[in-house]
Chain A
Amino acid sequence: MGMFDQGFDAIIIGAGHNGMALAAYLAKSGWSVAVLERRTEEGGGLCTEEVTEPNFLHNLHSNYHSLVGICPVYDDLELTENGVEYGHPDVQMGSIFDDGTALTIHTDMRKTAASFARFSQKDADTWMRLWDEVCGYMDLMVRTLMYAPPIALNDITRALASWGVEDKSEFLAARLRSMSVAEFLDKHFENDRIKAMLAFHAAICAYQPHVKGLAVTYPVLLGKIANWHVCKGGSHRLAHALMRVIVKAGGRVFPQVPVTQIVVEGGRAVGVMTPDGFVRAHKLVASSIDVNQTFETLLEPQFVPERTRREVADVQYQDATLFNVHVAMNGLPRYKAAAFDPDIDRAWILNIGFESLADFEHEFAQARAGRLPKRPRLNAAVNSLYDPTDAPAGKATGLLRVFAPFALEDGGAEAWGRVSRQYGEACLARWREVMIDDDAQSIVRRFSTESPHEISQKMINYRFGDWMVGRIHPKNLLEHRPTDELAGYRTPISGLYLCGASQHPHGYITFAPGYNALGVIAEDMGIDKWWDRV
């Protein structure tokens, strides 16, 4: 008998973290579950490889995990007990400026305020009031805005108005829905560099600072500014833990089994086709891959209603993605700016180059135009600072990221093949500028680049290199993500659900799309929500 002959209660398409989490919950609920994955391994963006030298572990995509301790999935699925270990850097982020000064964000927010105060006492005070306020409603807002199906923005703003929140809160207001992150920062802060540091946090969460309307969720984003975690042993460890939970609960994960078609009979999804043949889904098929692949590639056109087809074709992706440089290093870097703030040497996520809000506007405008800046602005992280196991003793693993166009002005996406190595060198040169001279000369052993085009070829879910799997824009958030019709995790095809990063809230290691799809599936299928005890 073949391994697929009996079929499964649920078939999950794609073994990213959302699909695997959904599979784990369903398996723990007593369902027979199969996760079918096109690639050679599970994990999706939780991908750790030795791309430079042996024993240097590089997280190719997912590197920053910001919802540890907040996301219910970690506890529900006992991921720590199944092998996940996180480091929580005490110096979370930093900025190094051209004049040799630096800012640092600490888990101890008094230290953050002290760092801010060196640039502006007023802003340091504002920051502490903002932080105190955000901490009050952070848990509530995260659960409302992330770990529940989307609520309409109008409902949110009506509630804020009805409850008079504007009079009770210094920072939360209904009018945020029409403001950009940059406008929010301009309204409350005076110092350009502090604003740049806070905007950098938004930008690495894919919130472009000048997009109107994103300020409405920015306070929640700020609440996570001290919650960046490094997954020890590489992000792929999280995928292994998910795999263990699934297997222990009796589920199966099948790498190298690409789904070629979702089979529909009588208007209902009844299974999938693979190169090995038909696999029956007794209760449901859930797709964790992007909506374009789901509706335009895997479903035969006659099963896709006209409205669905039209709206899916209009789904927007990020107009600036990431170029990555993975670096094997001879040790931990030391920075000239440590003379100003010694903690900068221990800052995990570094902004090198964004000194004002205008810099973000310029950088993203360049990316939209398909151009590469001559002097790249970096997002640099040395995981070995907080996870020495990711490199040989005394050595270190580094990651540089740059906001970049998917298609270059001169030659389109495939032109990256010509310029990748050279642009990687430019990124390294920019990093060396801020290091002390000894390190600048000798610290880099080898490096490997990944262009947006290469990323999209490998991770086909990341259309146009978009790791958020859909633009972060008010038109593509909450009740509009990925489309008005598909925002609720259900589809017009009975038995077919959506559980991937195309869905609300967005990509990143949130587990939220999978978790929210689970809630909807539980309601439809009468599953006892053992995980949902208020």
Chain B
Amino acid sequence: MVSCRLSDGGMSRFNAKTPMATIGFSSALITALRLLLGAIFIISGSEKLLDLKFFGLVIAEYQILPPLFIPAVAILVTLCELLCGTMLLVDLFSRISASIMLGMMAIFIAAMTNNVIRGLEHDCGCFEFLAQWYGLKEEIGIGPIVRDILFFILLLPIALLGSNRIPWKKRQG
């Protein structure tokens, strides 16, 4: 893979004959993915922030973490979603943000799969507003797992080809 560390923060990779470029990943597609996923993570993080206690109780239901760590993990996950979502939206350290979200998606997929295999039935803790606004139950199962796998796949191009640029530095240059 051609490595071009230029001031545009990696966008020149699309102009170079990289394998990803050849399979059709344009900067417009990366931007669209960034905006879409950024908005989704901000919505998800915001609703968790509004009721951290509820989110903590849902995490407890996964029966994976010791109770002592649950409040801290609830705050950490919420802040990660909010910060990474915002950074994806404004294209600030997009690659790092996408990589962090990739890691989180992997953990979510593993946790949900583990509990589905164990036969547990409980809330997913993903998009609670769907239940509150539209009455859709967000329980763990194939649906949320497939959705998180889709998010994982959509995050990959940003993590691999997105930029780590700092917009105000570019303007100065």
Chains A and B form a bound pair: no
Which residues of chain A have a CB within 8 Å of any CB of chain B?
Answer: none
Identify the B interface with A (CB < 8 A). Answer: none
